[in-house]
């Protein structure tokens, strides 16, 4: 039944795309996020669904779409450079077979992130891309949130649709993404035109925000809790009624704590006491290993190079009974542990050049969104109200991702690359349509054209 | 049951979004008439001025 419905749903998008090919781009966003071929056991699981929609999205744009307003931005160039560099490190990888396996999805995610901005030529397309990304992720989030509320959570135990640990179905990744999209949900509820702002939209939006906040509880991923805390702080930074909102947040947290399962509070307690926690100690040991590795291999070891690590570290556990404190040290040996941090993932796999490129891509996004926010925040026209809040929402989403990335290896997570694609699209669209920027650029071009003429006439006159 | 509910809500909204997007012309072009496939952009006043005014 689910299988038939999912197939019909994709068929519907394919059909509508025949007239509006951009819907195929949206369909690919959906396929990449929800991965219906994983949920389905029937037709879809036997078809190369992802490849079909990837091809449809490209072909639709190439053959039928108007390309005169498409621009190739500097950040897309950086993504292309990163793609080529990753291709090179895959060829020279220390573990060629495993590296090729990761490359098989990384290149697709990067190519799509480079391609997406070319299609985002109108305001509605930018909104549609964000809407489809949020609604697609909401399928997983609503599922996880209801199961959490019903008591079905637990570290590594929360099951979304299927027993699968790839993409957004992995606990820490969905926790980070769920928190990162909260600003986008609120932007859609306030400025959306596909579902214009009314009480139904707000009810759904707040229910979804609540569901997003439940995901870190259900997955018991500490990353999610850190991300949620940072998001609250960032909102307080720009909020008008700081004290009121801060008090409400604190009150909500106080009410929520008694309802949280004890396993959750125990696990969150290890954020402070990381010495006793093997997971935290493993991370620190892996990061130390990575620093040593890149000293010998400054260009990185290619994808999945963490397989080479062998770790030996100590965990310290203190237990106080009455006046006696017992300190237990335990030596743990481990190997082939994942990076558990996007920064170290980039450093180990792609070396210094890869990490530098990745950081430039990330930070330039923050800067561009800040520039857009400053340029648009004081405008008062009725058509000039959505730009600054969207730039802020995309900036907040990226900040949350970058903080989550400290503890999770999601450097090439397709969802985040799509967000970068949307940022590039927004930047390019506003540059093209903002009358002030257009006038300034025209003036600059006019002056540049005058200078050689003046120089030539001066030369001929002298 | 929970799975079916979550899938239905998200997919129902995605279908509705697709229908609404399909019906809106500003999905593909903003302002003015849609440009035909392969058609060139009409020169604006700025281009005219650069080219020595509008052609007769």
Query: DSSP per residue over A296-336, as a string?
Result: H-TT---TTGGGG-EEEEEEEEEEEETTEEEEEEEEEEEES
Closest residue in B to A201 (Cα) is: B13
- Interface predicted TM-score (ipTM) of this complex, two decimals: 0.84
Residue pair A425/A114 in contact by the 8 Å Cβ criterion: no
Please state the pTM of the whole predicted model: 0.84
| Digit-coded pLDDT (tens) for A402-427 | 999 998 889 999 999 999 999 999 99
Q: What is d(CA A340, CA A160) in angstroms, rounded to the nearest whole number?
A: 22
Based on DSSP, count helices (H) and strands (E) in chain B, helices before strands. Answer: 2, 0
Closest residue in A to B4 (Cα) is: A2
Q: Does B17 touch chain A (CB under 8 A)?
A: yes
Query: Would you say residue B47 has pLDDT above 80?
Result: no
Rounded percentage of chain A residues whose pLDDT exceeds 90: 46
Q: Does A393 touch chain B (CB under 8 A)?
A: no
Of B5, B16, B18, the CB nearest to A16: B18
Identify whether B13 is part of a domain. Answer: yes
Identify whether B14 is part of a domain. Answer: yes
Hey, are the CB atoms on A146 and B15 less than 8 Å from each other? no
Q: Which residue has the higher pLDDT, A320 or A371?
A: A371
What tokens appear for B53 in the block? Answer: 């005014």
* Mean pLDDT computed over A75-84: 95
Q: Which residue has the higher pLDDT, A52 or A223?
A: A52
Pairing of strands A310-321, A324-335: antiparallel
Hey, are the CB atoms on B17 and A65 less than 8 Å from each other? no
Identify whether B5 is part of a domain. Answer: yes
Q: Specify the pLDDT at position A40.
A: 76
For A255, residues 6+ apart whose C-beta sits below 8 A from its C-beta are none
Identify whether B52 is part of a domain. Answer: no
For A368, residues 6+ apart whose C-beta sits below 8 A from its C-beta are A75, A423, A427
Residue B14 belongs to domain spanning: 1-26
Q: Of A194-208, A210-224, A306-320, which has the strongest mean pLDDT?
A: A194-208
Q: Does B51 touch chain A (CB under 8 A)?
A: no
| Digit-coded pLDDT (tens) for B1-16 | 888 899 999 999 999 9
DSSP H stretches of helix in A257-411: 262-269, 278-296, 342-376, 387-404
Q: Which residue has the higher pLDDT, A75 or A66?
A: A75
Query: Would you say residue B55 has pLDDT above 80?
Result: no
Identify whether B6 is part of a domain. Answer: yes
Nearest to A50 by CA among A322, A306, A318, A414: A414
Q: Specify the pLDDT at position A462.
A: 43
Q: Does B25 touch chain A (CB under 8 A)?
A: no
Closest residue in B to A7 (Cα) is: B11
* Mean pLDDT computed over A305-313: 79
Hey, are the CB atoms on A124 and B18 less than 8 Å from each other? no
DSSP per-residue letters across A65-121: S--TT----HHHHHHHHHHHHHHHHHHT-SSHHHHHHHHHHHHHHHHHHHHHHHH--
| Digit-coded pLDDT (tens) for A34-48 | 888 888 777 777 888
Q: Does B26 touch chain A (CB under 8 A)?
A: yes
Query: Would you say residue A360 has pLDDT above 60?
Result: yes
Q: Cα A65 from chain centroid?
A: 27
- Across the A:B interface, residue pairs with CB atoms under 8 Å apart total 100
Query: Would you say residue A113 has pLDDT above 90?
Result: yes
Identify whether B50 is part of a domain. Answer: no
* Mean pLDDT computed over A336-352: 90
Q: What is the largest CA-CA distance in chain A?
A: 98
Q: Specify the pLDDT at position A153.
A: 64
Hey, are the CB atoms on B6 and A195 less than 8 Å from each other? no
| Digit-coded pLDDT (tens) for A208-218 | 999 999 888 88
* Mean pLDDT computed over A141-156: 79
The total domain count for chain B is 1
Q: What is d(CA A397, CA A400) in angstroms, rounded to the nearest whole number?
A: 5
Contacts of residue B17 in chain A, CB cutoff 8 Å?
128, 131-132, 135, 194-195
For A189, residues 6+ apart whose C-beta sits below 8 A from its C-beta are A197, A201, A202, A204, A205
Rounded percentage of chain A residues whose pLDDT exceeds 70: 90
Kindly report the nearest CA distance between residue B37 and chain A, in angstroms. Answer: 7
Query: Would you say residue B20 has pLDDT above 80?
Result: yes
What tokens appear for A205 in the block? Answer: 């939006």
Identify whether B44 is part of a domain. Answer: no
* Mean pLDDT computed over A328-342: 79
Of B14, B19, B28, the CB nearest to A30: B14
Q: What is d(CA A364, CA A77) in angstroms, rounded to the nearest whole number?
A: 12
């Amino acid at each position: 039944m689910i299988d038939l419905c999912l197939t019909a749903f994709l068929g519907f998008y394919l059909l509508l795309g025949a007239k509006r090919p951009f819907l195929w781009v949206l369909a690919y966003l959906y396929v990449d996020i929800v991965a219906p071929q994983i949920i389905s056991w029937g037709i879809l699981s036997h078809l190369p669904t992802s490849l079909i929609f990837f091809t449809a999205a490209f072909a639709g744009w190439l053959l039928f779409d108007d390309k005169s307003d498409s621009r190739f931005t500097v950040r897309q160039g950086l993504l292309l450079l990163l793609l080529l560099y990753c291709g090179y490190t895959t060829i020279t990888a220390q573990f060629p077979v495993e590296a090729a396996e990761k490359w098989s999805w990384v290149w697709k995610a990067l190519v799509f992130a480079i391609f997406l901005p070319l299609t985002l030529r109108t305001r509605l397309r930018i909104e549609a891309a964000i809407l489809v990304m949020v609604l697609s992720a909401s399928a997983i989030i609503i599922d996880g949130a209801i199961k959490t509320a019903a008591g079905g959570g637990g570290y590594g135990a929360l099951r979304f649709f299927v027993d699968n640990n790839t993409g957004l179905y992995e606990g820490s990744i969905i926790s980070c993404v769920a928190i990162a999209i909260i600003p986008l949900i609120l932007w859609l509820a306030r400025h959306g035109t596909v579902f214009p702002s009314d009480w139904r939209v707000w009810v759904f939006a707040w229910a979804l925000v609540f569901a997003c906040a439940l995901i870190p509880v259900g997955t018991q991923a500490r990353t999610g809790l850190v991300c949620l805390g940072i998001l609250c702080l960032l909102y307080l930074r720009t909020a008008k009624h700081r004290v009121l909102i801060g008090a409400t947040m604190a009150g909500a947290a106080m009410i929520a704590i008694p309802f949280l399962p004890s396993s959750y509070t125990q696990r969150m307690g290890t954020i402070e006491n990381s010495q006793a926690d093997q997971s935290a100690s493993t991370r620190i040991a892996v990061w130390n290993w990575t620093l040593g590795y890149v000293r010998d291999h400054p260009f990185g070891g290619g994808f999945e190079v963490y397989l080479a690590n062998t770790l030996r570290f100590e965990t310290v556990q203190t237990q106080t009974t009455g006046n006696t404190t017992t300190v237990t040290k335990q030596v743990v040996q481990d190997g082939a542990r994942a990076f558990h941090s996007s920064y170290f993932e980039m450093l180990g796999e792609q070396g210094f050049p890869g990490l530098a490129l990745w950081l430039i891509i990330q930070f330039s996004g923050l800067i561009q969104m800040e520039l857009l926010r400053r340029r648009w925040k004081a405008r008062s026209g009725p058509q000039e109200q959505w730009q600054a809040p969207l730039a802020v929402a995309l900036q907040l989403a990226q900040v949350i991702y970058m903080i989550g990335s400290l503890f999770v290896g999601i450097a090439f997570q397709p969802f985040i690359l799509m967000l970068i694609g949307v940022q590039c699209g927004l930047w390019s669209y506003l540059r093209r349509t903002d009358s002030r920027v257009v006038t300034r650029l025209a003036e600059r071009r006019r002056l540049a054209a005058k200078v050689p003429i003046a120089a030539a006439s001066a030369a001929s006159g002298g | 049951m929970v799975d079916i509910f979550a899938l239905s809500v998200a997919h129902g909204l995605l279908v509705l979004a697709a229908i609404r997007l399909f019906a809106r012309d500003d999905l593909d072009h903003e302002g003015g008439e849609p440009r035909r496939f392969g058609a060139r952009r009409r020169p604006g006043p700025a281009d005219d001025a650069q080219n020595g005014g509008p052609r007769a």
